[in-house]
């Protein structure tokens, strides 16, 4: 596996950040085009030196495992902007925490990062081959992005999404939104707290009511004793990616 690191300026957010691009071992030869998974909190994905508390998602190991099963993909890890992370990952204002720059962040991903990745690498540009994924606040903006930009993203993974942020307005947004075709992976750990688990179950019920009830449209997972940590997200990542990438 090969990793490239780009430095990308955001005209939407007026800041700069690193973007890591993970290419499968099969990438170099040939003209094959690959599905792409866009992941938030990119510094937590594979490098202990930059990851929160030194714990990573072990992304490279997960991608290599899936490649052995014939599920090759390009992964794009978008680093968060530090103190601006909460604002950028929140589509709605929160009475206590502020935020609300999620639409501008989503435009950054769609209008700046994705075109650059598509120009530079052999990507499959179809929406069904384009996934958005993240955990916690990154899960919140991923969920929002799937329903706010259905022409761009056809697959979604929201690990322990922070549905509480902004008074749970994202649930109302999802309920009022259309029903884009695609795949949705949603999970929560049973040790994350009663509110987190209740919110995740509420979202799963809402998605089923919207029509995401087949095994190929929605995978909802509750994992015993898992907490809101990078270590536990790393354990769940291979299953999430497998669901997104399987045809």
Distance CA 203, CA 200 (A): 5
Q: What average pLDDT does the chain have? A: 97
Residue 12 scores a pLDDT above 90: yes
Q: pTM of the entire structure? A: 0.97
pLDDT band at 30 (very low <50, low <70, confident <90, very high): confident
Quick one: pLDDT at residue 55? 92
3-state secondary structure 152-207: CCCEEEEECCCCCCCCCHHHHHHHHCCCCCCEEEEEEECCCCHHHHHHHHHHHHHH
Per-residue pLDDT reduced to its tens digit, 132-176: 999 999 999 999 999 999 999 999 999 999 999 999 999 999 999
Map out the domains of the chain as residue ranges. Answer: 2-245
Per-residue pLDDT reduced to its tens digit, 164-192: 999 999 999 999 999 999 999 999 999 99
Q: Identify the CA nearest to 10 among candidates 114, 130, 145, 133.
A: 114
Residue 247 scores a pLDDT above 90: no
For range 110-139, the mean pLDDT: 98
Interstrand relation of 36-39 and 2-10 (parallel, antiparallel or unpaired): unpaired
Residue 45 scores a pLDDT above 90: yes
Q: Which residues contact 198 (CB under 8 A, 6 or more apart)?
A: none
Per-residue pLDDT reduced to its tens digit, 63-101: 999 999 999 999 999 999 999 999 999 999 999 999 999
Give the 3-state secondary structure percentages of the chain, helix then strand then coil, rounded to 5: 40, 20, 40
For range 34-49, the mean pLDDT: 97
Burial pattern 3-38, b for ≥16 Cβ within 10 A else e, equals: eeeeebebebbeeebebbbbbbeebeeeeeebbbbb
What CATH number does the domain located at 2-245 have?
3.40.50.1820
Q: How many CB atoms lie within 10 A of CB 84?
A: 16
Enumerate the H helices of the chain as residue ranges: 59-68, 85-88, 102-107, 114-120, 137-148, 169-176, 194-210, 230-245
Distance CA 219, CA 230 (A): 20
Backbone φ and ψ of 154, nearest 5°: -110, -5
CA-CA-CA-CA torsion sign (238, 134, 31, 6): negative
Per-residue pLDDT reduced to its tens digit, 189-224: 999 999 999 999 999 999 999 999 999 999 999 999
Residue 42 scores a pLDDT above 90: yes
Per-residue pLDDT reduced to its tens digit, 54-72: 899 999 999 999 999 999 9
Quick one: pLDDT at residue 53? 84
Quick one: pLDDT at residue 24? 96
């Amino acid at each position: 596996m090969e990793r490239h690191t780009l430095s990308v300026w955001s005209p939407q957010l007026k800041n700069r950040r690193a973007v890591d691009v993970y290419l499968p071992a099969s990438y170099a030869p040939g003209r094959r085009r690959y599905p792409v998974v866009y992941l938030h909190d990119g510094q937590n994905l594979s490098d202990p030196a930059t990851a929160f508390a030194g714990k990573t998602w072990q992304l490279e190991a997960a991608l290599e495992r899936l490649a052995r099963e014939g599920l090759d993909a390009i992964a794009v890890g978008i680093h968060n902007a530090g103190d601006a992370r909460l604002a950028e990952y929140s589509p709605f204002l929160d009475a206590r925490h502020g935020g609300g720059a999620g639409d501008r962040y989503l435009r950054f991903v769609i209008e700046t990062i994705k075109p650059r990745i598509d120009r530079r690498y052999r990507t499959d540009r179809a929406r069904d081959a384009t996934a958005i994924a993240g955990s916690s606040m990154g899960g919140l903006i991923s969920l929002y992005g799937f329903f706010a930009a259905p022409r761009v993203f056809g697959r979604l993974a929201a690990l322990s999404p922070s549905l509480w942020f902004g008074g749970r307005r994202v649930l109302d947004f999802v309920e009022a939104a259309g029903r884009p075709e695609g795949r949705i992976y949603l999970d929560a750990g049973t040790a994350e707290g009663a509110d987190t688990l209740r919110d995740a179950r509420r979202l799963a019920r809402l998605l089923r009511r919207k029509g995401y009830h087949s095994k190929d449209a929605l995978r909802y997972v509750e994992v015993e004793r898992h907490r809101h940590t990078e270590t536990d997200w790393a354990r769940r990542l291979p299953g999430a990616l497998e669901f997104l990438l399987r045809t």
